[in-house]
Structure 1
Amino acid sequence: MKKKIILLIISLNCLFTYSQKKYTFGKLTTKELALKTYKLDTTANAVVLFESANTTFKVGVHNVIVSTSFYKKIKIFNKEGFKYATFSIPLYNDKSDKEYVKDVKAITHNNFNKTFLKKSQIFEERVNDRWREVKFTMPNLKKGSIIEVMYTVNTPFKFNLTGWEFQSDIPKKYSQYSALIPGNYIYNRSLTGYLKLSVNDAQVVRRCFSVPRYTTPSNCEKVLYAMENIPAFEEEEYMTAKENFLSKIKFELSSTSWFDGTKKKYTSTWKAVDREFKTDKNIGGQFKKTSFFKNKIPKEINLLSSDLEKAKAIYIFIQKHYTWNQKYSIFKNVNVKKAYENKVGNIGEINISLINALKFVGIKTELVLLSTRSNGFPTKLHPIISDFNYIIAKVNIGDSYYFLDATNKLLPFGMLPFKCLNHFGRVMDFKNESYWIDIVPSKGSKTKLYVGLTLNEDGTIIGKLRKVKFWYDALNRRKSIENKSEDDIISNFEDNYNNLEVTNYTIENKTTINKPLIETFEVIIENFDNSKTYFFNPYFGEKFTRNPFNQKDRLYPVDFGYTRTYSANVILNIPKNYKIHTFPKSKSVKLPENGGSFIFLVKSTSDSFILSSSVKISKPTFFNFEYKPLKDFFNIIVNTQKIPLEIKKL
């Protein structure tokens, strides 16, 4: 588990001497009490009126304690805002020491009536061997309540000066973080997100930190970071991890210099990491077990004529042999031999087995460390190994290379699961120096819909529709029907339409994952009410029913992960006693910088209607300045595709 403290709440302890905002616990203003909505976000269920945290370093009995005091004041506008009155404080421990929380104080204000949090309402729970949680929910909540919370967390782990999250899913009027950091401790720090600091202050405080037996105190750095009028962070579709864009200040321990002259460096270099990984029993050690596959690989694979054919055969061999146990484990609990014997393994065991097997047949293969989309981007400035949570293989054949992941039995050769499309990874071969590489998918997604229907004189529609899905669309469809019978597939399809019956269904390449998935439905649509007017939409589920982009503006990129293409070709034959009365008009729209296109063509005659539609998203990522054209683009598509054909009986 990544060692990480989530700073959820905020507290008080002492007042500072520079441009830091002050507060008094238990005291409210008449303006705060009278507040009914937050004018900068009238839809907010709650708003943080003020929050702060202050970190100091203190000398304990046997070590140095990093002590952080938190304070938070929240106005709750309605019942939906009650959830912000529940707090969870994560506390880390190892075999020898632990973090603890003290001085928890909290008040619920209802006008001038105060309800104090009781000790009996505070609970501690064990999460696992390394983590505990202190939890409590504020008492006597009502619409319009103001809650105040303060407490202190003490940690002996100097790595856990982890920084401060200014932004959350509710707006904040003011948020500040301050620290008094002894010069003995050097931290790298970075500001992430799109919001700017309103206060960024640093001062030197002389002779502020001392340890018994050492006569010369060290100087300290006194820092203050603050933001005001912070909007709520709203997650939208097609984005990578929230952590990539949340506005926060991060600290990472780089080195320490003690009073006796000893120094220790914590921020490593990739050269040092490469050396360390060579000897690591979980990665470097397992990476050397190529000879283990000498008698495991089918002999016919070595007889194949090309390296590409061999690579594909090895990939299928490993993919079929193993079942992923849903565990990631890349830095511990990696045992290739044991996993092979059990035919079950974690990410590290399966993909290191793949790498070893490929290397055994003479194919140059490297290991790639990744962070999945939900895990956030890894830091590029210097190695933070805990940023990575996934391993894949990079196979080099001639002038080409292929990314492989053998943990998913439905994944074709050369494709990565969507969760791995997180822009870049670190390539390691344990002989040469490691390097960064862009993770660019070799394939996108494509769906083609072919519809041929005939409207009979009695009002029934009969015909055939064919759906052909490629690459990621095929993968997603195979996942959704993997354990379904053909009867289940037919029933699910029929449930989406009134008066439609599937008279025949065929599926091709359901398990042949390197080929497109093809489904054919023969259908009959009854006109049960004998209406003189039909409203008919010919897309059969292959259309955009809503615009996925609904914010007015967007600060962070739209990340589709891969390119996408959707096409439809529809022919509807019309008898003489019917006529197409209204239908959507032809149009053509293009996104700037060749980002995509929507081409919609219709042709209506006395005996037929022909529709041809193509939607292309030609690049995987759109930046914030491209958001409005993209939003408008999808509005046009949705508004066009929702218009049905109006067919009238003469």
Structure 2
Amino acid sequence: MLQIRTTVFLVLFAMAFSLNAQNFKFGKVSEEELKETVNPNDSSAAATVLYRSKKVRFTYNQGAGFTILTDVYERIKIYDKSGFDYATISQSLYKSDSDIESISGLKAYTYNLKNGKVEKSKMDKSAVFTTELSKYRNEEKFTLPNIKEGCVIEFQYKITSPFYYSIDEIALQYDIPINQQEISVATPEYFNFKANMKGYLAVSPKHSAKSGNINFTNKNRVSGKGLSTTSTTYSTQNIDYTIHSADYNMTDVPALKEEPFVNDINNYRSSVKYELQYIKFPQQLQENYTTTWEAVIKKIYKSDGFGLQLKSTRYFKDDLDVLIGKTSSPAELMSAIYFHVQNHMNWNSIYGYYTDKGAKTAYKERTGNIADINLILTAMLQEAGLEASPVLVSTRSHGVPMFPTREGFNYVIASVEIDGQQVLLDATNKYARPNLLPTRVLNWFGKKVRKDGSSVSINLLPSQLSEESVQMNVDLDQDGSLNGKLRHTNRYYNAYLFRNKYANSNEEDYLEKLENRNNGMEISNYQIKNKEGVGKPVQESYEFVLDKQADVIGDKIYFSPLFHLLQTENPFKLDERKYPIDFTFPRRDKYMINISIPDSYKVISKPEDMSIAMVDGIGSFQYKMLGEGQNLQLVVDLKLNHVVIGAEHYSYLKEFFKNLVEKQTEKVVLSKISSNGTTESTGKGR
């Protein structure tokens, strides 16, 4: 009996080992993979990475030195049409002067099950496109052929990079599940890299070491004596060195799920970033790279594309003299310089803290990248005698720079000290203004760079509440329709967002979208104030007619007093949350609704008042109904005072919005008045 149990155990163990150690060979897609209709661990997944391999290694070529080779291989199962996008693959390729990353050995196939047989479709070379995204980056993109529901795709290629000092961040988590992945990074002992982990997955790489070898061929010329000719001799030299490897072997990696109010979901994607600390070759001095914020900032500041641009001022001297002559205080001078640069320059949509064209050329051509424009702004402020400094920033889409690295930044703005107060400036957006930065920049903190190259962290998050207020007067008809007038006012960041989205739009198109967004209302007598008046509130007003805003059942009418403005869903649905909640900026929503009910009806039930507040002053909500007779007034006031709320407060926030939504969806109940002045029914409605 014991022998039988032992045999069964060994068989089961062997089967389990075989399944876990499945050998994924390019071109060997099974019927089982094609027949799979859903991911067993995530039924919502539109696709699944069945297997993924990424191997990063260094190779040495005499004359060229070290280069980085990255071998990429992926096999992906696509379940339905919503997963078709995963059949388009893009790869960023960096370049600098004559150095450029390249792709070779690209192979890609699609597999479908047709009449019980595996059908294989090869991707044609014409499906591969290379696009120049910027001065520093190309993109190679390809789409696999014959994509259908249930298909499996696979592709492989090699990236060759001359940038031996930089290993691209390696994502360990996708937007879809990954069944199995094998990631390896092998670096020579001469390059000391530090691995920085990001995300919430528990990742424990396996470290190992092995020997590597470099063969040098030395060429020697020996001159003969007298009439004898010069002879050439060759010798070889072998150098042994150690290769350090880190292997990340992972199974059943969950998809990174998008959640509401996240600054950028990629900031929380599990990944590993290798940051070069130093290079030390035999018989050579150690070359140190970024190890502290101080070292990072000083290296950036000393570069020609950054610090040198602040010293060149002659090209704008005449314009600056005019601005100085028109102002009488530091605050006026700062504003004058800011609005001059904002109006004079046009952003070319390229990010960067190093100038693209150079400040002088950009000023002459009136166009440039982020650094061109904001370093011009900083230089003019400094030349005018103001206490101005550049501020290095990472945009919301670029992530939060948690570790000292030059790659952690991709943007630069300006700061000025006026009467002891710090003012932040970005002249690249036509609707920004002093202390109102483009929302792409509102990302935790920046590094203000002083004139000696030192730096200090500064908070980029705004504290002023951005207000959206609605005042609405409506007449409710017996059939449940509304006739009303509405005034909608947006202030501060709400006004900024409105202008960026709608300032240049056609009014007819805008009104059509507004009507559709509000359940098909009919709008008339539309007026708008301060549509392009930067710094002023945007104010819209119009009259409208809107059907089906109340339920008429028998002798009763039921309606939410917020009508089409109510919030019907709690945006926070998950049981728990790992990521901070980011509202971009603090906000306040105010509603005042004046309602006239039909003369033949009487209020028999209305929502009770509510006032709730969150812990630590995070937010508050007030709901109050006033009035009597045929006139009601609803006042709603929602405040979210903090920009970023830690995940530890998620349960409170979820409960807060649950109460908010429930209160907004509560009904006012009207009952028809009989001829003798009483209600025709004593029921209190549903």
TM-score range, shorter chain: 0.7 to 0.9
For 2:512 and 2:184, locate their aligned partners in 1 and report how far apart those are by CA, in whole Å. 60
Q: 1:200 aligns with which of 189, 196, 205?
A: 205
Are the equivalent residues in 1 in contact too, given 2:415–2:424 (CA < 8 A)? Answer: yes
For 1:318 and 1:267, locate their aligned partners in 2 and report how far apart those are by CA, in whole Å. 33
Shift of 1:204: 2.9
Between 565-574 and 525-534, the greater mean CA deviation after superposition: 525-534
The aligned counterpart of 1:169 is 175
Q: Which amino acid aligns with 2:486?
A: L
Are the equivalent residues in 2 in contact too, given 1:54–1:70 (CA < 8 A)? Answer: yes
Between the two proteins, what is the percent identity of the paired residues?
29
* Alignment of structure 1 residues 321-400 onto 2, 5 Å: 321-378=344-401, 380-384=402-406, 386-400=407-421
The aligned counterpart of 2:46 is 45
Q: 1:595 aligns with which of 615, 618, 636?
A: 618
Q: 2:273 aligns with which of 250, 273, 278?
A: 250
Q: 2:72 aligns with which of 60, 70, 73?
A: 70
Shift of 1:491: 6.1
Are the equivalent residues in 1 in contact too, given 2:390–2:448 (CA < 8 A)? Answer: yes
The aligned counterpart of 1:209 is 213
Between 501-510 and 614-623, the greater mean CA deviation after superposition: 501-510
The aligned counterpart of 1:190 is 196
Q: Which amino acid aligns with 1:431?
A: D
Are the equivalent residues in 2 in contact too, given 1:290–1:359 (CA < 8 A)? Answer: no
Shift of 1:561: 1.5
The aligned counterpart of 1:405 is 426
Aligned length: 626
Residues 487-536 of structure 1 show CA distances to partners (whole Å, capped at 9, x for unaligned) of 77666655656796656454444444323333333557799999876665
Please state if 1:311 is matched with 2:313. no
Please state if 1:223 is matched with 2:230. no
Q: Which amino acid aligns with 1:307?
A: P
Q: Which amino acid aligns with 2:537?
A: P
Q: Which amino acid aligns with 1:415?
A: L
Are the equivalent residues in 1 in contact too, given 2:424–2:437 (CA < 8 A)? Answer: yes
Residues 68-105 of structure 1 show CA distances to partners (whole Å, capped at 9, x for unaligned) of 33343333333444443444455556625653423747
Are the equivalent residues in 1 in contact too, given 2:606–2:668 (CA < 8 A)? Answer: yes
Secondary structure of the residue that 1:240 maps to in structure 2? coil
Shift of 1:219: 1.9
Residues 525-573 of structure 1 show CA distances to partners (whole Å, capped at 9, x for unaligned) of 7999998766655547654354333444332221112111111122224
For structure 2, list consecutive stretches of 5 or more residues without a partner in the other structure: 1-19, 217-235, 674-686
Change (3 A) 1:119 1:570: closer
Residues 276-297 of structure 1 show CA distances to partners (whole Å, capped at 9, x for unaligned) of 5555443223212345544314
Change (3 A) 1:492 1:59: closer
Are the equivalent residues in 1 in contact too, given 2:614–2:656 (CA < 8 A)? Answer: yes
Q: Which amino acid aligns with 2:279?
A: T
Q: Which amino acid aligns with 2:191?
A: Y
For structure 1, list consecutive stretches of 5 or more residues without a partner in the other structure: 1-19
Residues 445-478 of structure 1 show CA distances to partners (whole Å, capped at 9, x for unaligned) of 1122223445689999666433332211122233
Between 24-33 and 422-431, the greater mean CA deviation after superposition: 24-33
Secondary structure of the residue that 1:373 maps to in structure 2? coil
Please state if 1:127 is matched with 2:131. yes
Are the equivalent residues in 2 in contact too, given 1:377–1:422 (CA < 8 A)? Answer: yes
Are the equivalent residues in 2 in contact too, given 1:448–1:566 (CA < 8 A)? Answer: yes
Q: Which amino acid aligns with 2:172?
A: F
Change (3 A) 1:61 1:638: same
The aligned counterpart of 2:443 is 422
Are the equivalent residues in 2 in contact too, given 1:302–1:361 (CA < 8 A)? Answer: no
* Alignment of structure 1 residues 435-514 onto 2, 5 Å: 435-453=456-474, 464-483=485-504, 504-514=525-535
Please state if 1:99 is matched with 2:102. yes
For 2:520 and 2:243, locate their aligned partners in 1 and report how far apart those are by CA, in whole Å. 76
Please state if 1:606 is matched with 2:629. yes
Q: Which amino acid aligns with 2:56?
A: T
Q: Which amino acid aligns with 2:541?
A: T
Secondary structure of the residue that 1:158 maps to in structure 2? coil
For 2:663 and 2:160, locate their aligned partners in 1 and report how far apart those are by CA, in whole Å. 59
* Alignment of structure 1 residues 23-38 onto 2, 5 Å: 23-25=23-25, 35-38=36-39
Are the equivalent residues in 1 in contact too, given 2:477–2:597 (CA < 8 A)? Answer: yes
Q: Which amino acid aligns with 2:404?
A: H
Between 485-494 and 619-628, the greater mean CA deviation after superposition: 485-494
Change (3 A) 1:512 1:32: closer
Are the equivalent residues in 1 in contact too, given 2:263–2:396 (CA < 8 A)? Answer: yes
Q: Which amino acid aligns with 2:188?
A: P
Q: Highest CA radius of gyration, 1 or 2?
A: 2
